[in-house]
Structure 1
């Protein structure tokens, strides 16, 4: 008869789940030798299930949509104390599935509003050192992709992106060259996000850091002798450069870039690459040099000195499929180069 009167298990609220997750994370964070606790595997299994449960609350499932009230509870409780910090610090101790679920939970929380505020941003601003931890994650291939994904979600917030740009961008020139293709590709994705998402912040950053940034960009990426860069990264790097230069917010940066003799020489060398996709991306940037109405004397002299080679190259430069826009752009570049005269150098110099 006793079995008939067992108390019903207490239903846990979303906030209760977060609190239990925090308790388990505190345990794992403080445990120096898990093997001394015979129940650690049981606790790890519980933690994994709870993180998965949080994922279902925030994203919903195939059978149900997420409930706004439940999402708000999770978000408030998550950022009320240091659950995010604990989750990031304990991520290396979690199993692969729990890491994946944790990464999705962190991503979703960046978008959750409570009383019309993105409280994740407030928390990150007060705990900005977490970005240092996430960036450094690229140095550990076991967690690099999870930390990288979290980092990209965090830099959706402009103030956080500004901090990472100013404090850590230089490290990415190294991370993009890491021998692990998956890690280097993930670092490149974060690098691109940092340099394209928040237009005004990026424009200010590049204006203040133009010299060292483009020196690194040229030597570490465009002119890199590293095999992985030459084979896999030059095309997306050139695409990124084009995105930066053609953005209206970076108009002053673009004018400065196309006034550089060194930059022109790099682009002309890239036009000679055997890879058609690389040639194509290089062409999109080279045409900015040709279109510049205020070419400096040394730019004009280089174009004239190489005019016959350039015209011959563009005469044979074709795409596999017809493209009217490309042909029009190419014709304009050819016209600009063909019409350059030595006297223009004298006129510019005289001015």
Structure 2
């Protein structure tokens, strides 16, 4: 007879609904008995873990597409995404991690061949304000940052962030003293500027003046080695993308931009590095397999040419421009002997035929320059 009274297995829809009820309870239960609250919060954390298991599968089974579709449809039907995001600070660390993975996965789930998360976020665009502001909260930054990167997979969402005042905040977030948060913000910044080509090209064309003024002064001329290195690498990725050809032509026609790139080109040693930069470099070099010693750190600092190499990939665009303004030509001519000496023994750590071909072309362009009269 016992078999007749077994509880019916919960469906994905049931779990989402119960999760929603528990989140609502958590948000309004400040004055309830502590033991009851703890039980409810434990149940909420368990539900979030189950949602994650449905979406990702587990050691015993792969995710079932029908179950994932049911879960996704119910999640966006009654604002559960908003509730979960705003409730995140009240969860324990493990539940926050699970919730982050749930929100991230939902951005990729299709219901009837449609990414319904995109429509939901367009209708609830203020959620992006909450996620971006998360970078100002040490406890929430990495969770909200991971969610944010998944949300901007949707072009409409990325466009909102690019066109908002939030973009200016990223120049400060990237330089936060907390290395993990700064690195996460840098990853989001890169995603915003590289994922949706047409939207990025439109944004850069409309916002060229303030964006590159901030980019140059706060990132390329930062006193932080890692900030400069990441910034010049990203700049190369942006300018070398065909969709940004108009922006690239404008960038390489500026003598101020050329000055900054020439300064980056001549960087060989990093005497004013931050302590965290030094140990990060040591970690990258040794990968945790050898004891960290200051001799090895110093050796790596002096031999590293990563900024120079990345700066070269941008500098070559100035040299290759067939319509160089007269002031660009005059700067290159005035510095010709120094540049040619630099490139004579300018090599990558590994053999790179493309790099050598690019360098040869740059040398040829600079060597053949003739001074022009300024208009």
Shorter-chain TM-score range: over 0.9
For the 8 Å contact 2:161–2:167, the answer to whether it is kept is: yes
TM-score by length of 1: 0.94
- Stretches of structure 1 that go unaligned for 5 or more consecutive residues are none
For the 8 Å contact 1:244–1:250, the answer to whether it is kept is: yes
Among 182, 185, 203, the alignment partner of 1:184 is: 182
For the 8 Å contact 2:48–2:98, the answer to whether it is kept is: yes
Partner deviation per Cα, 1:148-205 (whole Å, 9 max, x = no partner): 0000000000000000111121110010000000000000000000000000000000
Determine the C-alpha separation between the residues in 2 that align with 1:165 and 1:4: 60
Shift in Å at residue 235 of structure 1?
1.7
For the 8 Å contact 2:319–2:365, the answer to whether it is kept is: yes
Is 1:287–2:316 an aligned residue pair?
yes
Shift in Å at residue 321 of structure 1?
2.5
Q: Which residue of 1 aligns with 2:229?
A: 235
Among 218, 224, 235, the alignment partner of 2:222 is: 224
Partner deviation per Cα, 1:221-269 (whole Å, 9 max, x = no partner): 00123xxxx2222222111111110111100000000000000000000
RMSD: 1.4
Shift in Å at residue 37 of structure 1?
3.1
Determine the C-alpha separation between the residues in 1 that align with 2:97 and 2:72: 19
Runs in 1 of length 4+ with deviation above 4 angstroms?
3-6
Among 85, 98, 104, the alignment partner of 1:101 is: 98
Among 358, 363, 366, the alignment partner of 1:329 is: 358
Determine the C-alpha separation between the residues in 2 that align with 1:333 and 1:292: 10
Is 1:340–2:362 an aligned residue pair?
no
Q: Which residue of 1 aligns with 2:282?
A: none
Among 143, 148, 171, the alignment partner of 1:146 is: 143
Where 1:298 maps in the other structure, the secondary structure is: helix
Shift in Å at residue 33 of structure 1?
5.0
Determine the C-alpha separation between the residues in 1 that align with 2:193 and 2:356: 30
Is 1:305–2:334 an aligned residue pair?
yes
Is 1:257–2:247 an aligned residue pair?
no
Tell me the number of residue pairs that the alignment of Structure 1 and Structure 2 aligns: 339
Shift in Å at residue 102 of structure 1?
0.6
What does 1:1-351 correspond to in 2, within 5 Å?
Answer: 4=2, 7-33=5-31, 36-167=33-164, 168-225=166-223, 230-274=224-268, 275-342=304-371, 345-346=372-373, 349=374
